[in-house]
């Protein structure tokens, strides 16, 4: 099928599917190029993991149109080992000439009373596989999921990567300038961009310069004869497209009263290969001054609109690393 973005840039349209271990969706796609409308019918789910693995027998399927994530839908909740839904959802403004830019993400959730829903599996279906006109029915085999608020999450890979390249994982030693160690990895086959927030350095403010309102959400430290305010910190990640529009955002958990906090949290963003040179990843480090107040320590950006040469080089190294994580320290810019 002819579409913007060649098959060499996206996962192969008909790769052998993995063994079904996390559920299989029976899905029908009906695309109308004149109306720029996509209808997605979720008929049923089979091959759901056993009760012991999922902890329940009520199920719901969530759908979202990527990459903008503005159009979302979800099925009703159905029970049993092979739930039947037969529900159709409409996604609008899917231009035929831009069909290669879109994908539908399916996620299967186990739903429990009085408990938070648990993701069982997920699958990104790229619309390059669609017929430009007419219906197409096929099984969508779900894969392991990385459930994290706002975006996907993986285990830390920094120990392995840093052991290969010790020099890149050593602080830049820019005096007392706040720094952050970031690990980047891109998998061209799955279209997953992994950004690991590993640790920070010099996340502190002189007490004389920034007096606190009490000691809530902070600690006082005596470092080198100076009294510093060590506040609770976290890192926010925001992915933007070439137009500066937000594609996804997420943040780390809070580290309390640590001048050199260790996070080791990885966030995974879905970015097709042809989009990789057109996105910007912004990392902003915040002090939590109180329950309702926050203050930015600094920020960096990588990708299309990199904040500096070091950030641009890091992004370029990631693209050339063929699926290997690249770790680099970055000095934060003032807000």
Q: If you write DSSP's letter for every residue of 81-100 in order, what string do you get?
A: SS-EEEEEEEEE---GGGGG
Please check the confidence at residue 108 and state whether its pLDDT lies above 80.
yes
Please check the confidence at residue 110 and state whether its pLDDT lies above 70.
yes
State how far the alpha carbon of 294 is from the alpha carbons of 101, 237, 297, in Å. Answer: 36, 16, 10
The whole domain housing 34 covers 24-141
Confidence of residue 240 (pLDDT cuts 50, 70, 90): very high
What is the domain count for the chain? 2
Residue 279, domain member (yes or no): yes
What is the per-residue pLDDT for 305?
Answer: 95
- pLDDT, mean over the chain: 78
Q: Whose CA is closest to 182, among 59, 287, 326, 22?
A: 326
At 52 the three-state DSSP class reads helix
Whether residue 253 is found in the same domain as residue 131 = no
Burial class (CB in 10 A: 0-12, 13-18, 19+), 156: middle
- Show the tokens assigned to 192: 């997953």
Please check the confidence at residue 300 and state whether its pLDDT lies above 80.
yes
Please check the confidence at residue 136 and state whether its pLDDT lies above 70.
yes
Whether residue 110 is found in the same domain as residue 228 = no
What is the per-residue pLDDT for 94?
Answer: 87
What is the per-residue pLDDT for 193?
Answer: 93
Please check the confidence at residue 3 and state whether its pLDDT lies above 90.
no
pLDDT, tens digit (0-9, with 9 covering 90-100), for 307-328: 999 999 999 999 998 888 899 9
Residues 6+ apart with CB under 8 A from 116: none
Average of per-residue pLDDT across 229-238 = 83
Dist. CA 238–CA 245, nearest whole Å: 10
The answer to whether 293 and 135 have CB atoms below 8 angstroms apart is no
Whether residue 44 is found in the same domain as residue 129 = yes
Confidence of residue 59 (pLDDT cuts 50, 70, 90): very high
Whether residue 186 is found in the same domain as residue 325 = yes
What is the per-residue pLDDT for 272?
Answer: 92
What is the per-residue pLDDT for 98?
Answer: 78
Whether residue 184 is found in the same domain as residue 301 = yes
Whether residue 121 is found in the same domain as residue 205 = no
What CATH number is associated with residue 240?
2.60.40.150
Residue 170, domain member (yes or no): no
Whether residue 213 is found in the same domain as residue 304 = yes
Whether residue 133 is found in the same domain as residue 187 = no
What is the per-residue pLDDT for 16?
Answer: 44
Residue 325, domain member (yes or no): yes
């Amino acid at each position: 099928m002819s579409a913007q973005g060649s098959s060499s840039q996206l996962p192969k349209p008909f790769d052998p599917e993995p063994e079904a271990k996390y559920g299989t969706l029976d899905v029908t796609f009906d695309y109308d190029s004149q109306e720029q409308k996509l209808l997605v019918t979720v008929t049923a789910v089979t091959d759901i993991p056993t009760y012991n693995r999922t902890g329940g027998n009520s199920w719901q399927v969530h759908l979202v149109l990527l990459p903008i994530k503005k159009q979302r839908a979800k099925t009703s909740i159905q029970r049993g080992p092979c739930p039947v839904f037969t529900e159709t959802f409409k996604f609008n403004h899917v231009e035929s000439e831009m069909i290669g830019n879109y994908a539908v993400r399916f996620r299967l959730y186990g739903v429990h009373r009085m408990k938070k829903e648990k993701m069982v599996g997920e699958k990104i279906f790229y619309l390059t596989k669609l017929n430009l006109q007419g219906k197409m029915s096929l099984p969508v085999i779900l894969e392991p999921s990385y459930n994290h608020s706002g975006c996907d999450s993986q285990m830390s890979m920094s120990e392995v990567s840093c052991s290969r390249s010790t020099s890149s994982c050593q602080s830049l030693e820019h005096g007392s300038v706040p720094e952050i160690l970031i690990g980047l990895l891109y998998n061209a086959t799955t279209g997953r961009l992994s950004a690991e927030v590993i640790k920070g350095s010099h996340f502190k403010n002189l007490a004389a310069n920034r007096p606190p309102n009490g000691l809530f959400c902070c600690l006082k430290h005596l470092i080198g004869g100076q009294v510093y305010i060590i506040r609770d910190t976290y890192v926010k990640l925001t992915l933007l497209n070439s137009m500066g529009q937000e594609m996804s955002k997420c943040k780390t958990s809070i580290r309390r009263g640590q001048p050199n906090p260790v996070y080791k949290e990885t966030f995974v963003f879905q970015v097709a290969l042809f989009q990789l040179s057109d996105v910007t990843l912004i990392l902003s480090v915040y002090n939590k001054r109180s329950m309702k107040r926050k203050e930015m320590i600094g920020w960096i950006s990588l990708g299309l609109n990199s904040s500096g040469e070091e950030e641009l080089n890091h992004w370029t190294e990631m693209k050339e690393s063929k699926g290997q994580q690249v770790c680099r320290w970055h000095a934060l810019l003032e807000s």
